[in-house]
């Protein structure tokens, strides 16, 4: 019971004045949502009524639902009956349900990297990464026709576009080991946006070919041009969605500055009603302060007409509430979790419900958030991030323990020495004095935030 009380005290949340368009607009949106994949299978029936009932009982009032367009008609009435609004979770430039048919019919529509490799035949990270080129008029018309059909679905409240970007030129740092890569800079095999049509369009406007540059990643004109192709497409799709009187929203990378560099999403310029930036802290630093930092930046750099939410990974424990505090107390007006299925413990779900009830109670009474931090400037010094530094020292200790056969070694460090900088990466060296081992410690500041780190013993 004490935990729920402490949550409630800290939970006096969400200053509507800090973020967007005013109380009347924000109050028309659900405040707590989850992404959910719906895959009806006649051989394994899905009990949507039970699923949606559990969502409502956990404190959610909306679901961002992914299914085929013709499957929403069966799901929406069930969700509405259980008090949930339904937002369509729709993949944009990275094809989902119609991937194979478009690959066969239009292989020339797919994105191309700096090496000239097309996603029609080339694999980037995973098989399902099949992004289309956003500059092609045929692609834009095709996607607008698809989103138009989606908007024709009766009862659908909103469209949330996902994967409306280029391939990740920089993956979140915790994913690097999965692919055996280090992306401390932009490498050509991951750098997409070199479709012949897009290159010609750029040359006609700016008079040169970016492929002739020694390092195209340093050319901000070329970067912005690719971002603008995505922005133009999104805003054309927004016109379609708004013409149906529906809400236009998106799930981009954590901040406009980060996503601009990492996936060419300049989403502060998108005409969105709601934005659900995916601030998955455990993909980046592992420190909840990453959520605070991103939210502070998003309040300042989003479209002023867009209501700011926070997309968070669902955590089956007390950390979940720290994450929501970090977002809501720094300017987010709502939360979407990925996904409710990760809240496995009944006690955690009960606390989640208590949390959401407390927030709604406060929101109904006031637009002032007594729990707001008031912080408007992000600390970009990684050495001030206590959780990160503790994690780095823990990894050092684990390495020394294994290398020297010492259980639980005590760490004594020299001063950190800045070895070099490259772009957004800072490379340090530090000596563990008891063992004499030198460690390389790298900090990644994508989007001018502490967004990742790595530590490993220096090679002789």
Strands of the sheet with 158-162, listed across from one edge: 307-308, 274-275, 247-250, 158-162, 85-91, 62-66, 32-37, 335-338, 310-313
For range 179-207, the mean pLDDT:
96
pLDDT confidence of residue 371: 84
Q: For CA atoms 204, 205, 209, 211, give the dihedral sign.
A: negative
- Shortest CA distance to 158 belongs to which of 72, 64, 70, 91? 64
Element (H, E) at 231: helix 220-243
pLDDT confidence of residue 460: 72
What is the rounded average pLDDT for all residues in the chain?
Answer: 93
Angstrom distance (rounded) from CA 340 to CA 32: 11
Angstrom distance (rounded) from CA 170 to CA 122: 18
pLDDT confidence of residue 11: 39
Residue 24: pLDDT over 60: no
The CATH number that domain 2-365 falls under is 3.20.20.80
Query: What is the per-residue pLDDT across 2-19, written as a single tens digit (0 to 9) for each?
Result: 344 344 334 333 333 333
Do residues 439 and 396 touch, judged by C-beta distance below 8 A? yes
Do residues 174 and 286 touch, judged by C-beta distance below 8 A? yes
Residue-range domain boundaries for the chain = 2-365, 382-457
For range 370-393, the mean pLDDT:
95
**Window from 4-8, 39-43, 397-401, 446-450 with minimum mean pLDDT:** 4-8
Angstrom distance (rounded) from CA 392 to CA 427: 14
pLDDT confidence of residue 457: 97
Query: What is the per-residue pLDDT across 195-210, written as a single tens digit (0 to 9) for each?
Result: 999 999 999 999 999 9
Residue spans of beta strands (DSSP E) within 328-457: 335-338, 417-422, 425-432, 437-444, 452-457
- Shortest CA distance to 316 belongs to which of 289, 344, 335? 344
For range 16-29, the mean pLDDT:
50
- Shortest CA distance to 446 belongs to which of 265, 222, 229, 232? 265
pLDDT confidence of residue 369: 81
412 or 365: which leads in pLDDT: 412
For range 443-451, the mean pLDDT:
96
For range 365-394, the mean pLDDT:
92
Angstrom distance (rounded) from CA 236 to CA 167: 21
Angstrom distance (rounded) from CA 357 to CA 365: 13
152-to-102, 157, 201 alpha-carbon distances in Å: 22, 11, 33
pLDDT confidence of residue 27: 66
List, in sequence order, every residue forming a beta bridge with 249; answer none if it has no partner.
160, 274
Residue 224: pLDDT over 70: yes
Query: What is the per-residue pLDDT across 299-344, written as a single tens digit (0 to 9) for each?
Result: 999 999 999 999 999 999 999 999 999 999 999 999 999 999 999 9
Residue 156: pLDDT over 90: yes
Token pair, residue 389, equals 């530094």
Query: What is the per-residue pLDDT across 241-269, written as a single tens digit (0 to 9) for each?
Result: 999 999 999 999 999 999 999 999 999 99
Residue 449: pLDDT over 90: yes
For range 182-206, the mean pLDDT:
96
């Amino acid at each position: 019971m004490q935990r729920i009380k402490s949550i409630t005290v800290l939970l006096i949340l969400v200053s509507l004045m800090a973020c967007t368009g005013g109380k009347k607009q924000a109050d028309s949106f659900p405040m707590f949502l989850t992404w959910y994949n719906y895959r009806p299978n006649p051989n394994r029936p899905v009990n949507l009524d039970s699923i949606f009932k559990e969502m409502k009982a956990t404190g959610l009032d909306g679901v961002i639902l992914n299914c085929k367009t013709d499957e929403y008609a069966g799901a929406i009435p069930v969700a509405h009956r259980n008090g949930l609004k339904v937002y369509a979770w729709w993949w944009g430039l990275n094809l989902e349900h119609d991937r194979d048919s478009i690959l066969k019919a239009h292989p020339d529509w797919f994105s191309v990297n700096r090496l000239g490799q097309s996603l029609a035949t080339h694999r980037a990270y995973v098989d399902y990464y099949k992004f289309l080129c956003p500059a092609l008029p045929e692609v834009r018309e095709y996607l607008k026709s698809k989103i138009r059909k989606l908007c024709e679905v009766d009862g659908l409240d909103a469209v949330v576009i996902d994967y409306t970007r280029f391939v990740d030129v920089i993956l979140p740092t915790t994913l690097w080991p999965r692919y055996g890569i280090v992306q401390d800079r932009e490498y050509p095999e991951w750098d997409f946006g070199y479709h012949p049509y897009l290159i010609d369009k750029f040359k006609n406007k700016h008079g040169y070919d970016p492929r002739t540059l020694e390092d195209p990643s340093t050319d901000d004109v070329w970067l912005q041009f690719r971002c603008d192709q995505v922005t133009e497409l999104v805003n054309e799709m927004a016109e379609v969605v708004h013409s149906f009187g529906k809400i236009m929203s998106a799930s981009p990378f954590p901040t406009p500055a980060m996503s601009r560099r990492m996936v060419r999403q300049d989403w502060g310029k998108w005409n969105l009603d709601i934005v659900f930036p995916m601030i998955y802290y455990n993909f980046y630093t592992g420190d909840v302060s990453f959520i605070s930092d991103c939210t502070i930046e998003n309040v300042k750099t989003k479209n002023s007409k867009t209501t700011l939410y926070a997309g968070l990974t669902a955590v089956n424990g007390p950390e979940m509430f720290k994450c929501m505090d970090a977002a809501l107390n720094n300017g987010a007006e709502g939360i979407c979790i990925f996904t409710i299925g990760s809240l496995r413990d009944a006690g955690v779900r009960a606390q989640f419900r208590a949390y959401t009830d407390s927030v709604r109670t406060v929101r109904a009474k006031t637009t002032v958030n007594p729990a707001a931090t008031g912080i408007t400037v992000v600390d970009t010094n990684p050495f001030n991030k206590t959780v990160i530094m503790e994690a780095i020292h823990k990894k050092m200790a684990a390495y020394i323990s294994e290398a020297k056969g010492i259980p639980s070694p005590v760490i004594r460090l020299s001063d950190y020495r800045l070895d070099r900088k490259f772009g957004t990466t800072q490379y340090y060296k530090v000596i563990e004095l008891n063992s004499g081992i030198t460690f390389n410690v790298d900090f990644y500041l994508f989007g001018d935030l502490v967004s990742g780190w790595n530590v490993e013993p220096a090679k002789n």
